[in-house]
Amino acid sequence: MLWYCVKRLLRSLGSLCIIIVIVFCLLRLMPIEGYFPNYDKMSAQEIQNGLQKMGLTAPLYQQLFHFFGELLHGDLGVSNIYRVDYPIVRIIAQKAPVSIEFGLIAMAISLPLGLALGVLMAKKKGGFWDQFGTAYIVFIEAVPIMLIYLFLQLYGTGVFHLGILYDSDKPATAILPVLSLALPSVSGYAMWLRRFMVDESNMEYIKFAKAKGVPNNAIWFRHVFRNAMVPLVQLIPGSLLLTIAGSIYVESLYSIPGMGGLLVDVIKRQDNTMVQALVIVFAALSIFGLLLGDILMAIVDPRISLTKKAVSR
C-alpha cells in the first residue's frame, strides 16, 4: 500500500509539474499590461525597468527555475493589479474559507439526496422514482448549467423574495447559491449510483443470495449498495477538495467573495500573476483529488490489487 501511494504521488507531482510549465509559458506570451496597474501612464523605460525588476527579461528557463524555487517555499508571488504588491497566498487564504463553507454545505445536501435518489431508482427500476430521477438527470445534463443557475436566481428572487446578491449579514441570501451548487451534483451522484447498483444486482452472487432466501432489504443494502459504493467513493475526495476552489460561475453570479469569483475578477483585470497562481491551485486540487480517490477506493475495497501480479507460464 505504501509503495502504491508513493508511485501515485510521484505521478501526480509529475502531472502537476507539466501543467505548471505549460501555464507558466503560456502566460509569458500574454500582453505585459497584466504586470502593471498603470501601464497606460508609464513610459517605455519605466516598463522595461519594471519587467527587469520582476525578472521577466531573463531567459524563460531561468524564470521557470526561479518560480519553482519560490513555489517550494510556498510563495506564489504577488498581485500586480488586484492588490498591488500583496502576497497571493494571503489573498487565497482570505477567499478560500468562503468557498469551503459554501462547498461543504452544498455537498452535505447533494450527497445524501443523490445517494437516496440513486438507491430508489435502482431498487424501483422502471417505477415512479426511476422515471422521476431519469427525467431530472436528463434535464440537468441537457440544459446548459448557466441557464439553470439563471432560472434559480430569477424565480428564487422573484417568487421567494430572496436577495439577488450574497450578503454575509443576511443568511437567507446564501440559500440560492447553495441550491445552485447542490442541485446539479444530485443528478451526478444519483446517475452513477443507480448504474453501479443495477450492474451489481445482476451479478451471480446476488442471484444465489436470492435463491438462498436472503431478505430483499439485506441483499440491497448489505451487498448491492455496499459494493456499488466502491467505485463511487473514488469521486468523493475530488468533489470535496474542489469545494475549496468554489464555483466560478455561481460565485460571480451572486457576488460571493470566494476563490471562484476571484478567478473571474483577476482574468478581467488581466492580473497575470494572480491568474497563474489560481490556475495552478485549481489544477493541484483536481490532481490530488483523483489521487485521494484512488487511494480511498483501495482502502474501502481490499480486493483491489495495488501491484501487478506475476503471470505464471
Q: Cα 229 to the chain's mean position, in Å?
A: 20
Q: Cα 268 to the chain's mean position, in Å?
A: 22
> Is residue 11 in some structural domain?
no
Query: CA 266 to CA 78: how far, in whole Å?
Result: 13
| pTM (two decimals) | 0.79
> Is residue 115 in some structural domain?
yes
> Is residue 18 in some structural domain?
no
Identity of the amino acid at 127:
G
Q: Which domain holds residue 150?
A: 92-298
Q: Residue 199's domain is classified under what CATH number?
A: 1.10.3720.10
Domain tally, the chain: 1
Cβ(245)–Cβ(285) under 8 Å?
yes
> Is residue 170 in some structural domain?
yes
Neighbouring C-alpha atoms within 13 Å toward the C-beta of 246:
28
> Is residue 55 in some structural domain?
no
Strands (DSSP E) contained in the chain are: 78-79, 86-87
Per residue of the chain (313 residues), what is the pLDDT tens digit? 677 778 888 888 898 899 999 988 888 887 777 777 777 788 888 888 888 888 888 888 888 898 898 888 888 888 888 888 889 999 989 888 888 888 889 889 988 999 999 999 988 888 899 999 999 999 998 988 888 888 888 888 877 777 788 888 888 888 888 888 888 889 888 998 998 888 888 888 888 888 888 888 888 888 888 888 877 887 777 777 766 666 778 888 888 888 888 888 888 888 888 888 988 888 888 888 888 877 777 777 666 655 555 444 4
Identify which of 204, 276, 285 has the alpha carbon closest to the alpha carbon of residue 237. Answer: 285
> Is residue 59 in some structural domain?
no
Q: Cα 90 to the chain's mean position, in Å?
A: 21
> Is residue 313 in some structural domain?
no
> Is residue 303 in some structural domain?
no
- pLDDT of 310 reads 42
Give 78's DSSP letter: E
Identify which of 199, 168, 21, 39 has the alpha carbon closest to the alpha carbon of residue 102. Answer: 168
